């Protein structure tokens, strides 16, 4: 499990920022209509865009808030839902049982959904720089997109598992795809995450280095899985550093 239903990104809103936002439907190449949340800056279509990939719960308020924070910084953002093929549209109740839906996701379906979000962000500029940013299940999915032919400028993953196979269905481990990655990678990991031990993270770093993929992999000692949460105030310093690294990574590669 990643964030709780009432989690909030630990990022202060930018006061006075002029943004627009809406929940809308996008259509994947296989015809699936799925929900996404779009947040546009005060200069929409300008600068890089961001596709936000949620954790196993799918699209909920944490990721909509995160998209808003990107837009306040001048980065148009689209946060996607994974479950257009299997579940009712969000918003969903706090007790939504996502387990069957997430196990039904496939690597190809997520690739198509991300492609639809990218097409939305590139509607006025086919060469627009696009970044993916994901968390947990979305963290590894973000890295997978770097090897999926989207022409990304960068892929950011918070505590994604780099060595897990078959999640989503049909996916090899992220570390096995480094030879196909086309952009820099940023990884932000909890040093006290029993599900993703440090040696797995170091194996991923080594694979990226060996493949010549530009990367920055950060392990925060003592931080747990899902540390990036306003309620986890004891990890406020780590969260602030992680957000600074995300914004710097985008600025350096746009």
| Residues 16-73 pLDDT 10s | 787 899 999 999 999 999 999 999 999 999 999 999 999 999 999 999 999 999 999 9
H-assigned helices in 8-95: 61-72
Q: What is the mean pLDDT of residues 94-98?
A: 94
Q: What is the mean pLDDT of residues 94-105?
A: 95
Under the banding of pLDDT at 50, 70 and 90, the label for residue 1 is low
Residue 15: the pLDDT is: 78
Residue 164: the pLDDT is: 97
Residue 154: the pLDDT is: 98
CA-to-CA distance for 182 and 180, rounded, in angstroms?
A: 6
Residue 17: the pLDDT is: 80
Backbone φ and ψ of 179, nearest 5°: -65, -20
CA-to-CA distance for 217 and 175, rounded, in angstroms?
A: 13
Strands (E), the chain: 20-27, 33-40, 49-53, 76-80, 130-135, 154-158, 185-190, 215-220
Under the banding of pLDDT at 50, 70 and 90, the label for residue 2 is confident
pLDDT(127) > 80: yes
CATH dotted code for 20-253: 3.40.50.1820
Segments making up each domain of the chain, as ranges: 20-253
């Amino acid at each position: 499990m990643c964030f709780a239903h009432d989690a909030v990104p630990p990022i202060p809103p930018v006061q006075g920022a002029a943004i627009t936002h809406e929940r809308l439907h996008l259509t994947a190449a296989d015809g699936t209509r799925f929900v996404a949340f779009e947040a546009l800056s005060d200069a929409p279509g300008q600068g890089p865009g961001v596709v936000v990939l949620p954790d196993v719960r799918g699209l909920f308020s944490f990721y909509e808030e995160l998209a808003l924070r990107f837009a306040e910084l001048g980065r148009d953002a689209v946060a996607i839902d994974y479950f257009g093929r299997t579940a009712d549209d969000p918003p969903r109740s706090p007790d939504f049982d996502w387990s069957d839906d997430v196990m039904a996701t496939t690597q190809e379906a997520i690739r198509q959904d991300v492609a639809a979000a990218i097409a939305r962000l590139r509607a006025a500029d086919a060469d627009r720089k696009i970044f993916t940013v994901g968390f947990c299940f979305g963290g590894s999915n973000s890295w997978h997109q770097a090897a999926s032919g989207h022409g990304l400028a960068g892929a950011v993953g918070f505590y994604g598992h780099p060595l897990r196979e078959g999640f989503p269905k049909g996916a090899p481990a992220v570390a096995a795809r480094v030879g196909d990655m086309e952009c820099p990678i940023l990884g932000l990991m909890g040093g006290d995450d029993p599900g993703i031990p440090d040696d797995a993270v170091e194996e991923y770093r080594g694979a990226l280095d060996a493949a010549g993929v530009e990367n920055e992999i950060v392990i925060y000692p003592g931080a747990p899985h899902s540390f990036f949460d306003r309620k986890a105030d004891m990890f406020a310093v780590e969260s602030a550093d992680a957000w600074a690294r995300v914004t710097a990574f985008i600025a350096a590669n746009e």
